[in-house]
Structure 1
């Protein structure tokens, strides 16, 4: 079946784990992950349907999704920074810059292609955001076992995915030389599948850790 792949399966499993373990979470931000992952699944299925069944380009769907991906991921990083008195103005500044880059690339492409440069810049920023979170954790005097830290594992997943995405974008031309004719067997497709599995595995474990923390706080 066209809709079942490593990518879609890992996304759907992660969504189910989020639904099970975050539905009753007290934090609205963490519960928003359920909606975000559902949107991710819908976007992926829609993209496959447009490419495989309608035989039309699906870049408009992913361009729109990129806006939500950047917005939510940026906000979630801000949520993780809040205990360290991180000012919200930098969230607005970053998203404003992102929108300018996004609209500029859309105009440059005459609205006829995926905003790959914008996605690359976003990936670099999220890699830096992940490293900054590690820096804050190192400076934090409050002890927290990282093995059971939900925020730590969520950031781990994001770092793996966005660092891998950045590396793929840098070596895009090199990888293209070895692309096979079939899309599903291309090197980039395989790499992104591996990155998806790593990220969603880390995120699923983060949701379980979050659930565990909530249960321990009640006991």
Structure 2
């Protein structure tokens, strides 16, 4: 078993996740919406999964694919539920949520058995990312056609969706070219191109989500 300094376990990803979690905890812990409070738990699980993956890879020198394959389920269920709460005011039934989750569960289990639990569920992740990109675009359409005025730059929902759009659009491209990107190392950083791209996407995502937490807090205070 290898050993690494604790400082090496704090990467750009984990630092961004930790900061976003702390901001969400400060500004959302009293929020009345279950989805926004659940964001705090999700960010904590994200940080935990990323840190666990680093420990398994750098300390135990073992493959960490099981961690990320498991986290795909958490990511899918949380993000799907959050989108449902965004669409619910527009009359969308919960059966859409259940139908999608049932479909993605079947795809996920089928792919796990297909790769014999020895590879990342790239196809499921790609389809999930595409669906979330479409959900982001549909949210924008609903906002554009909504007769109620809302300053988007101050909207927590807008910034949350914008962060998700950047991340999942980039994720779609990365997952499509997963095999190519994971095999091409960048010697300067000793990391795959895919890893570097996801670092950039994560920074964008958690920056937007941090700001959305602040906006949500401001919205809640303004309605008092």
Superposed pair shares fold, TM > 0.5: yes
Sort the Cα spacing of 1:173 and 1:56 in 2 relative to 1 into closer, same or farther, 3 A.
Answer: closer
2:200 matches 1:186: no
Question: CA–CA distance in 2 between the matches of 1:178 and 1:107?
Answer: 27
Aligned pairs for 1:3-152 (under 5 A) are 3-152=9-158
- Answer whether contact 2:136 2:162 (CA < 8 A) is retained: yes
Q: Runs of 5+ in structure 2 lacking a partner? A: 1-6
Question: CA–CA distance in 2 between the matches of 1:182 and 1:58?
Answer: 23
> TM-score, normalised on structure 2?
0.93
Moved more, 57-66 or 191-200: 57-66
Question: CA–CA distance in 2 between the matches of 1:178 and 1:69?
Answer: 26
Report the alpha carbon displacement of residue 138 of structure 1 after superposing the two structures with TM. 1.0
| Aligned-residue RMSD, C-alpha | 1.5
Q: Runs of 5+ in structure 1 lacking a partner? A: none
| Helix, strand or coil at the partner of 1:111 | coil
Over residues 72-130 of structure 1, what are the superposed CA-to-partner deviations in whole Å (9 max), with x where a residue is unaligned? 10000000001100111111111111011001101101122221111111101100010
Over residues 42-101 of structure 1, what are the superposed CA-to-partner deviations in whole Å (9 max), with x where a residue is unaligned? 000100000011111111111111111000100000000011001111111111110110
User: What residue number does 1:198 align with?
Assistant: 204
Question: CA–CA distance in 2 between the matches of 1:173 and 1:11?
Answer: 26
User: What residue number does 1:154 align with?
Assistant: 160
Question: CA–CA distance in 2 between the matches of 1:112 and 1:48?
Answer: 18
Question: CA–CA distance in 2 between the matches of 1:60 and 1:40?
Answer: 14
Over residues 151-203 of structure 1, what are the superposed CA-to-partner deviations in whole Å (9 max), with x where a residue is unaligned? 00000000000001112223445545742358753221111111000000000
